[in-house]
Each structure stands twice: as structure tokens, then as C-alpha cells.
């Protein structure tokens, strides 16, 4: 079937995520048909850099032989069974592997399928944990303004981005929001409101949930160093569980395997997803401690069971991909290779920062955001969609990424070489320069 025929079918029947479909219907979609390394190819044979890792999931590149082969081997054995009442080798081996690389003390792995479900599970586990310990009044959660934890109703409840989720306000459970740590230079100051909330309402709070180091979808907002550590101390002091959402930051994105490692923090619950399978298949995990796990043990009739599970939880193909991805981390010394790339990006972004319509640049490891400004200190109006225009121009120049408002996101697969990173940032620089010059004054 040719692209024109596919286009008419697609426009009649598909509804896209985070997309104004009227705009979508007015333009011709790009059909991606092949990936190789850090390049994607469309149905007309055009190639593009994958500069946002296929929405933050890809780690070792597309068509990565080791992962392809692991999935093929697994599909010859078993495509899917269930984790309800049964298990399979990949689930056991991957859980052992995750426990061995996670911050020390995280030993138990509960599988699901997406970052949002990993967060839902952490919230439910935290509440039920307190119930089993005779503290069912601990039913409230504390989250941070500007945070993003996914799109299901529970994860939206603890999300702090009004732009995406404001319309659903009436459907959400009440959550206490502390200020975004990015508003402060000093970690102690950043945590002072949070501390006040915990000391005031401490006995009703089940857990604090945070994105470590960087509030990614909120605009790559960086926390001051030491903040994560202070949150850990506060949670311990007030008997509140600490949930760390490593969905964006996990698997090398910040320069370490997990962002928690930068401050030697072990949370009570850690959520991972995006990069877990190297960006191949949907798989997530909520990883927790012996302490949380053992609170759920009891006679069947006590109903201490954690009543939660999805049809495709712990899918064998996805587990095989995840194990192959972790092998690559080990065999290729991926984490050790990142520091040079991160430094290169930092230096190159400083040059881009000199463009007249570039404001602040945020970077945490291999995740960065370039803020576009009308002039210094004056943001472009939302309706001008300058971020979307720049990304659209970048696509014409052979690079794919998506903006967050006026922020152009650069988040290349970890496998990208410095030459590839240079090629990508050259296109981004060119696209920003062209679009912002066209839009003047």
C-alpha cells in the first residue's frame, strides 16, 4: 500500500496522543517504517536523527542486534502467559538484575506496563502499607508543583502541570503540593515548605512522590544539589514513604544508572519504565524494600494481598528485551561512556545559548531543554507555538524532536556518538535560527 492510501486510512481512523486532531488532519503524517542506530526512516525513504529518543525511551539505538535477537529467541519459546498465579524465567532473572543495580535495599520488583501504572502501583502500595501497620489515616500524598507522573487518574492527581491536566481537576483525589525545588538555589530553602507540610500534617501523609534531580516534562527543571537527600531525611523523620519516579531519569539518562545514585539515596519505592527495555517494548516496574514487601504478608483471609495486576504485566518478550538492554549496559561500559558526551553537549549548548532568541538552557546528563524567548526575559506567547515551529523546521532539516511549550528538547539515545550529537545540535541550532529570524520582530 502506498503512502497516500495509508494517509487517508490513518486520517479517518487514528486518534493521536497529546495532539490537536484538527491540525493533524490538515497536514500529512510521517509514517516511520524503519530505524537503524540513532536514525529513523519514513515511508518515502527520508532519514531523520532521533533527537528525543522516540519520546525518551530509546537507549542503545534502533535495530540493535542484541535486543532484536533476544526478542526473536523469546518469541520462539513463548509470547505471553500471565504473572497472576504463574511466572516465567525472564521475570525472575530481570527482577534479580534490577535488584542488583537499584539503590541498595530495593529488593522486590512489581511489574506493570507503563510509567503511569508504575506510579499508580507505588501510590496504592504506599497507602496499603500504612493500613497494614494500623495507620489507615495516612491517606494523603505530597507531590511537587510542576511535576509529571503520567496520564492515568492517580498519576495525574499527583501531577502538578495545570496545562495538561487542569480540565480533569474534579476527577482527582486531593494532594498537597510543595513548591518546585527548581525555584530555589539552596536545597534547604527548597525543602522548607515541604518540611512544614510534613510536620503539620505528618500523621495523615502516606508518601512524598518526586522526580529525582530534574522535573522533566515540567520543563527540565533542575533541583538544587542535596535536595533529594533532604527529602529522604524528612520522609524518614516523619514516617512517610518516599516514592521516587525514575521513569524519565532511569537507565543512564542523567549520567548514572539511576538519578538517586547522585545523592546516594534509597527511596522506599522506585518507579522505572521508559528506558527499561532499551525503548523496544512496554514494561515498567515498581521496586521496593523488604520492609514494604513484608507488610503485605499474612494469612490469605487477612486480605493483606496487593490486589493489583494488568493483563500484560511482566510480558516475557519485554523482559527478554530488558535483560538484553542491561547486558549492553554492562558489556559496552555504557555508563562510563556518558561523561564525555554530557560535557560535549554542555559546551555545544553554550554556543547555542548565544543565539538572540535563546534564553536559559537546562541540562541534566543527556537530557536538555533550550528555552526560546522573544527577547531576553520576555517569553514568546503560548499561541505563537514557537517550540512546535522550530521542531517542525528541524524535521524538514532531518531531525525529529518534540517541544515542551517554548522549550526545544534534546534528549538523544545514550549510544549517540559525539559526531552524531554534533550533527543533531547543528540542525537544532539552524532550525532555531531560521524560525526565530522569520518571526521577528
Ligand X SMILES: *Cc1c(COP(=O)(O)O)cnc(C)c1O
End-to-end CA distance of the chain: 45
From candidates 116, 254, 289, 401, binder to ligand X by CB under 6 A:
116
Cα–Cα distance for residue pair 390/386, rounded to 1 Å = 6
Helix (H, G, I), strand (E, B) or coil at 137: coil
Give how far the C-alpha of residue 270 lies from the chain's centroid of Cα atoms, to the nearest Å: 12
Q: Does 371 bind ligand X (CB under 6 A)?
A: no
Q: 215-234: which residues touch ligand X (CB under 6 A)?
A: 216-217
Cα–Cα distance for residue pair 211/407, rounded to 1 Å = 19
Q: Does 120 bind ligand X (CB under 6 A)?
A: no
Query: What's the DSSP call for residue 52?
Result: T
Q: Does 268 bind ligand X (CB under 6 A)?
A: no
- Total of chain residues touching ligand X, rule CB under 6 A: 15
Q: Does 95 bind ligand X (CB under 6 A)?
A: no
Nearer to ligand X, 16 or 200 (CB): 16
Select from 71-79, 85-93, 147-155, 255-263 the region that touches ligand X (CB under 6 A). Answer: 147-155
Cα–Cα distance for residue pair 427/395, rounded to 1 Å = 9
Q: Crossing angle, helix 334-352 and helix 316-331, to 10 degrees?
A: 80
Q: Does 145 bind ligand X (CB under 6 A)?
A: no
Select from 79-87, 108-116, 288-296, 320-328 the region that touches ligand X (CB under 6 A). Answer: 108-116
Prior bond to 441 cis, omega within 30? yes
Q: Count other Cβ atoms within 10 Å, centred on residue 151.
A: 16
Q: Does 111 bind ligand X (CB under 6 A)?
A: no
Taking the complex as a whole, the smallest distance from the CB of residue 237 to ligand X amounts, in Å, to 25
Taking the complex as a whole, the smallest distance from the CB of residue 291 to ligand X amounts, in Å, to 24
Nearer to ligand X, 246 or 420 (CB): 246
Cα–Cα distance for residue pair 53/410, rounded to 1 Å = 9
Select from 62-70, 240-248, 379-387, 396-404 the region that touches ligand X (CB under 6 A). Answer: 240-248
CA-based max dimension of the chain = 71
Q: Does 114 bind ligand X (CB under 6 A)?
A: yes
* Chain positions contacting ligand X, by CB under 6 A: 114-116, 119, 148-150, 211, 216-217, 245, 247-248, 273-274
Amino acid at each position: 500500500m502506498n503512502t497516500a492510501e495509508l494517509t487517508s486510512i490513518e486520517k479517518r481512523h487514528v486518534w493521536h496522543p497529546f495532539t490537536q486532531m484538527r491540525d493533524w488532519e490538515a497536514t500529512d503524517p510521517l509514517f516511520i517504517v524503519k530505524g537503524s542506530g540513532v536514525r529513523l526512516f519514513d515511508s518515502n525513504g527520508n532519514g531523520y536523527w532521533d533527537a528525543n529518543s522516540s519520546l525518551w525511551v530509546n537507549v542503545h539505538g534502533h535495530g540493535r542486534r542484541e535486543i532484536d535477537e533476544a526478542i526473536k529467541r523469546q518469541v520462539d519459546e513463548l509470547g505471553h502467559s500471565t504473572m497472576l498465579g504463574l511466572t516465567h524465567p525472564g521475570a525472575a532473572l530481570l527482577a534479580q538484575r534490577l535488584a542488583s543495580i537499584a539503590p541498595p535495599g530495593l529488593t522486590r520488583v512489581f511489574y506493570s506496563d507503563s510509567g503511569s501504572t508504575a506510579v499508580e502501583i507505588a501510590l496504592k502500595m504506599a497507602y496499603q502499607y500504612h493500613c497494614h501497620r494500623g495507620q489507615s489515616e495516612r491517606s494523603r500524598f505530597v507531590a511537587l508543583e510542576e511535576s509529571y507522573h503520567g496520564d492515568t487518574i492517580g498519576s495525574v492527581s499527583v501531577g502538578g502541570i495545570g496545562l495538561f491536566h487542569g480540565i480533569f481537576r474534579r476527577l482527582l483525589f486531593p494532594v498537597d503540593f510543595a513548591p518546585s525545588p527548581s525555584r530555589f538555589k539552596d536545597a534547604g530553602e527548597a525543602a522548607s515548605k515541604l518540611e512544614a507540610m510534613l510536620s503539620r500534617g505528618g500523621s495523615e501523609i502516606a508518601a512524598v512522590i518526586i522526580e529525582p534531580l530534574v522535573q522533566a516534562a515540567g520543563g527540565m527543571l533542575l533541583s538544587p544539589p542535596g535536595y533529594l537527600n533532604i527529602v529522604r531525611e524528612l520522609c524518614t523523620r516523619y514516617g512517610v514513604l518516599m516514592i521516587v519516579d525514575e521513569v524519565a531519569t532511569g537507565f543512564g539518562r542523567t549520567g548514572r544508572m539511576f538519578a538517586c545514585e547522585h545523592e546516594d539515596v534509597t527511596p522506599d519505592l522506585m518507579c522505572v519504565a521508559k528506558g527499561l527495555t532499551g525503548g523496544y517494548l512496554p514494561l515498567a516496574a515498581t521496586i521496593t524494600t523488604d520492609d514494604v514487601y513484608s507488610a503485605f504478608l499474612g494469612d490469605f483471609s487477612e486480605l493483606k494481598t496487593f490486589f493489583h495486576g494488568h493483563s500484560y504485566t511482566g510480558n516475557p518478550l519485554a523482559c527478554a528485551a530488558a535483560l538484553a538492554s542491561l547486558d549492553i549496559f554492562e558489556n559496552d561500559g555504557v555508563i562510563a561512556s556518558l561523561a564525555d558526551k554530557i560535557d560535549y553537549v554542555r559546551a555545544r549548548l553554550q554556543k547555542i545559548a548565544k543565539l538572540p532568541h535563546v534564553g536559559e538552557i537546562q541540562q541534566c546528563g543527556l537530557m536538555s531543554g533550550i528555552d526560546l524567548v522573544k527577547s531576553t526575559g520576555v517569553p514568546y506567547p503560548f499561541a505563537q507555538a514557537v517550540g512546535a515551529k522550530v521542531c517542525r523546521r528541524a524535521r524538514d532539516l532531518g531531525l525529529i524532536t518534540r517541544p515542551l511549550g517554548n522549550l526545544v528538547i534534546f534528549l538523544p539515545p545514550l549510544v549517540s556518538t559525539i559526531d552524531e550529537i554534533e550533527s543533531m545540535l547543528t540542525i537544532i541550532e539552524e532550525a532555531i535560527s531560521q524560525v526565530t529570524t522569520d518571526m521577528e520582530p
